[in-house]
Structure 1
Amino acid sequence: MPVTTTSAAIHITPVVIKTFFKHSKRKGIKLKDGDKSEEAWDDLFYDEAFHIVKAFIELGTKNTVESLQAFTNTHVPAPYWCAVVPVKIPLATCNQAADALIEWFGPDELKRVVGGERWWQIRGLDWIDSEWVTEKDYLDDRSFSKDDSYTEEEQTILRMEHLDRVMLYVHGGAYFWGSINTHRYQIIRYARKMRGRAFAVNYRKAPQYPWPCPLHDVLAAYFYLTSPPPGSVHKPVSPSKMVFAGDSAGAALCLTALTVLRDLGLPQPAGAVLISPWVDLTHSFPSVMNNTATDIIPPHGFIHKPSPTWPVHTKAEGGYTRAVPTQTDPPPQPGHADKLKPDAGEVADQASQRLEQSIQRGEEVHSADLKDYPDGAPSQQEMQEKGGVDATTGGTTPVETARSSPDPKHEKDQDLDPDISLDMWEPKPPKVLMLDPKATPLELRAQIQLYATTEQLSHPLVSPVLQSSLGNLCPLYIIAGNGECLRDEIIYLAHKAAHPKEYPTRKGVLRDGHRQKENAEKFQTPTKVHLQVFDDMCHVLTVFTFTEPAKYAYRAITQFVKHVIDNSEAHLERNPFPELHRPPSDISDTEPVHKRDRRRTPSEKTSDRAKPPLSPSRTEIDKYRFNEQQAEQEVKQGHAEKLPAHTEAPPSECSGEDIPAVLMFRERVDVMGNVRPMEPAEEIEALNIPPQQIGVIKELPVRRWLEGQEEWDRKYKRTAERVIRKRKHYEAKAQRLLDHARQQGWIHDELTPQTSRVSIPDGASRLSAGEIQPERRWGPFDLKEERPPPTAIAGRRDTAEAVALLKKALYYSAPVTHHRLGKIKTSDAVRAVFDHHDHPLKPPRQSVSEQQVHTQVIPIHGLRMWQSLVELFMRKSSKKVDQKVKVGKKHARSTLRSTKEMFGSSTSGETSTATPTDQSREGEGVSSFTATPTHQ
Structure 2
Amino acid sequence: MSLSKDPPVKSWSSEFHLAVAAIQAYNPAELPIEQDQKQFNEINKFEVPSNIIIEQVILDERYRQESKNHLEKVLKQYEDVLDEKWKEPNDRLHGEWVYTKEEDNEMDKVILYIHGGGYYLGSPKRFRETTSKHAEYAKARVFAIGYRLAPQNQFPASLCDSVAAYLYLLNPGLEAGFKPINPKKIVFVGESAGAGLALATLLFLRDAGLPLPGGAAVLSPWVDLTHSMPSFLNAELDKVDILPKTFGFREIGPSSPVADEYIANAKALSDKIAQKKPTIVGHPSFTEVPRFQLYCANEALAIPYVSPMLAESLGDLPPILCQLGELERLRDEGILFSYKAAYPNEYQLPSYATKNFEKSPFKNPTKVILEVYDDMTHGWRMFTFIKPSQVALERCGDFIKRVTSIKDNDTSMIDLLKEDAVSPSISISPSFIGMRVSVDGEIRELNKTDQDCLKWDKIGIVPKK
Question: TM-score when scaled to structure 2?
Answer: 0.89
CA deviations over 1:510-567 (Å, ceiling 9, x no partner):
57xxxxx378531111111110111111112211111111111011000000001123
Query: Partner residue of 1:453?
Result: 297
SS for the counterpart of 1:181 is: coil
Equivalent-residue separation in structure 1 for 2:10 and 2:440 (angstroms): 9
Residues 460, 62 of structure 1: CA spacing in aligned structure 2 closer, same or farther, 3 A cutoff?
same
Displacement of 1:128? 0.8
1:109 to 54, 64, 78: 78
Alignment of 1:740-759 (within 5 A): none
Alignment of 1:630-645 (within 5 A): 630=423, 632-634=424-426, 639-640=427-428, 642-643=429-430
Equivalent-residue separation in structure 2 for 1:367 and 1:114 (angstroms): 9
Alignment of 1:445-484 (within 5 A): 446-484=290-328
Residues 182, 264 of structure 1: CA spacing in aligned structure 2 closer, same or farther, 3 A cutoff?
same
Residues 537, 269 of structure 1: CA spacing in aligned structure 2 closer, same or farther, 3 A cutoff?
same
Aligned-pair identity in percent equals 31
Question: 1:548 aligned to 2:387?
Answer: yes
Question: 1:694 aligned to 2:462?
Answer: no
Query: Partner residue of 1:52?
Result: 22
Displacement of 1:684? 2.6
Displacement of 1:575? 4.5
Query: Partner residue of 2:288?
Result: 443
Would the aligned equivalents of 1:240 and 1:270 in 2 still touch at CA under 8 Å? yes
Equivalent-residue separation in structure 2 for 1:687 and 1:76 (angstroms): 40
2:89 to 100, 110, 123: 123
CA deviations over 1:362-395 (Å, ceiling 9, x no partner):
xxx9987xxxxxxxxxxxxxxxxxxxxxxxxxxx
Query: Partner residue of 1:536?
Result: 375
Equivalent-residue separation in structure 1 for 2:255 and 2:60 (angstroms): 31
Question: 1:487 aligned to 2:433?
Answer: no
SS for the counterpart of 2:130 is: helix
1:508 to 352, 370, 376: 352
Equivalent-residue separation in structure 2 for 1:520 and 1:70 (angstroms): 46
SS for the counterpart of 1:257 is: helix
Equivalent-residue separation in structure 2 for 1:530 and 1:548 (angstroms): 20
Equivalent-residue separation in structure 2 for 1:178 and 1:545 (angstroms): 19
Alignment of 1:287-686 (within 5 A): 287-290=231-234, 291-300=237-246, 301-308=249-256, 309-310=258-259, 424-425=276-277, 443-444=288-289, 446-509=290-353, 517=356, 521-570=360-409, 572=411, 575-579=414-418, 584=419, 625=420, 627-628=421-422, 630=423, 632-634=424-426, 639-640=427-428, 642-643=429-430, 663-680=431-448, 684-686=451-453
User: Aligned-pair RMSD on alpha carbons?
Assistant: 2.8
Equivalent-residue separation in structure 2 for 1:519 and 1:238 (angstroms): 32
Query: Partner residue of 2:101?
Result: 136
Displacement of 1:576? 4.4
Residues 570, 285 of structure 1: CA spacing in aligned structure 2 closer, same or farther, 3 A cutoff?
closer
Would the aligned equivalents of 1:528 and 1:576 in 2 still touch at CA under 8 Å? no
SS for the counterpart of 2:34 is: helix
Equivalent-residue separation in structure 2 for 1:254 and 1:686 (angstroms): 23
Equivalent-residue separation in structure 1 for 2:51 and 2:118 (angstroms): 30
Structure 1 residue runs without a partner (length 5+): 1-14, 28-37, 140-159, 321-339, 341-364, 369-422, 434-440, 512-516, 585-624, 644-662, 703-936
Structure 2 residue runs without a partner (length 5+): none
Residues 520, 257 of structure 1: CA spacing in aligned structure 2 closer, same or farther, 3 A cutoff?
farther
Displacement of 1:487? 0.9
Equivalent-residue separation in structure 1 for 2:112 and 2:184 (angstroms): 12
Equivalent-residue separation in structure 1 for 2:166 and 2:262 (angstroms): 36
Would the aligned equivalents of 2:55 and 2:97 in 1 still touch at CA under 8 Å? yes
Displacement of 1:432? 6.8
Equivalent-residue separation in structure 2 for 1:201 and 1:179 (angstroms): 8
Residues 366, 215 of structure 1: CA spacing in aligned structure 2 closer, same or farther, 3 A cutoff?
closer
Question: 1:68 aligned to 2:16?
Answer: no
CA deviations over 1:707-734 (Å, ceiling 9, x no partner):
xxxxxxxxxxxxxxxxxxxxxxxxxxxx
Amino acid corresponding to residue 129 of structure 1 in structure 2: H
Residues 489, 312 of structure 1: CA spacing in aligned structure 2 closer, same or farther, 3 A cutoff?
farther
Equivalent-residue separation in structure 1 for 2:40 and 2:109 (angstroms): 28
Would the aligned equivalents of 1:39 and 1:671 in 2 still touch at CA under 8 Å? no
Residues 129, 537 of structure 1: CA spacing in aligned structure 2 closer, same or farther, 3 A cutoff?
same
Q: How many residues align?
A: 453
Question: TM-score when scaled to structure 1?
Answer: 0.46
Over alpha carbons, which structure has the higher Rg?
1
Would the aligned equivalents of 2:46 and 2:129 in 1 still touch at CA under 8 Å? no
Displacement of 1:198? 0.4
Equivalent-residue separation in structure 2 for 1:202 and 1:214 (angstroms): 9
Would the aligned equivalents of 1:169 and 1:201 in 2 still touch at CA under 8 Å? yes
Would the aligned equivalents of 1:481 and 1:536 in 2 still touch at CA under 8 Å? yes
Equivalent-residue separation in structure 2 for 1:523 and 1:501 (angstroms): 10
CA deviations over 1:279-336 (Å, ceiling 9, x no partner):
0011111111112322101243313531332377879xxxx9xxxxxxxxxxxxxxxx
SS for the counterpart of 1:231 is: helix
Residues 239, 22 of structure 1: CA spacing in aligned structure 2 closer, same or farther, 3 A cutoff?
same
Would the aligned equivalents of 1:469 and 1:520 in 2 still touch at CA under 8 Å? no
CA deviations over 1:28-61 (Å, ceiling 9, x no partner):
xxxxxxxxxx8332x11211111122223x2x22
Residues 562, 468 of structure 1: CA spacing in aligned structure 2 closer, same or farther, 3 A cutoff?
same
Displacement of 1:427? 7.6
Query: Partner residue of 2:201?
Result: 257
CA deviations over 1:410-466 (Å, ceiling 9, x no partner):
xxxxxxxxxxxxx653689x9875xxxxxxx9832x320111111111221111111
Equivalent-residue separation in structure 2 for 1:488 and 1:258 (angstroms): 21
Equivalent-residue separation in structure 2 for 1:664 and 1:44 (angstroms): 36
Amino acid corresponding to residue 307 of structure 1 in structure 2: S
Would the aligned equivalents of 2:131 and 2:142 in 1 still touch at CA under 8 Å? yes
Displacement of 1:266? 1.7
Residues 685, 93 of structure 1: CA spacing in aligned structure 2 closer, same or farther, 3 A cutoff?
same
CA deviations over 1:59-107 (Å, ceiling 9, x no partner):
x22312101212334697744431100001111011111111112123x
Would the aligned equivalents of 1:427 and 1:455 in 2 still touch at CA under 8 Å? no
Equivalent-residue separation in structure 2 for 1:450 and 1:299 (angstroms): 15
SS for the counterpart of 2:391 is: helix
Question: 1:189 aligned to 2:189?
Answer: no
Amino acid corresponding to residue 540 of structure 1 in structure 2: G
Would the aligned equivalents of 1:468 and 1:520 in 2 still touch at CA under 8 Å? no
SS for the counterpart of 1:478 is: strand
Would the aligned equivalents of 1:133 and 1:191 in 2 still touch at CA under 8 Å? yes
Which of the pair is proportionally richer in helix? Answer: 1
Residues 447, 678 of structure 1: CA spacing in aligned structure 2 closer, same or farther, 3 A cutoff?
same
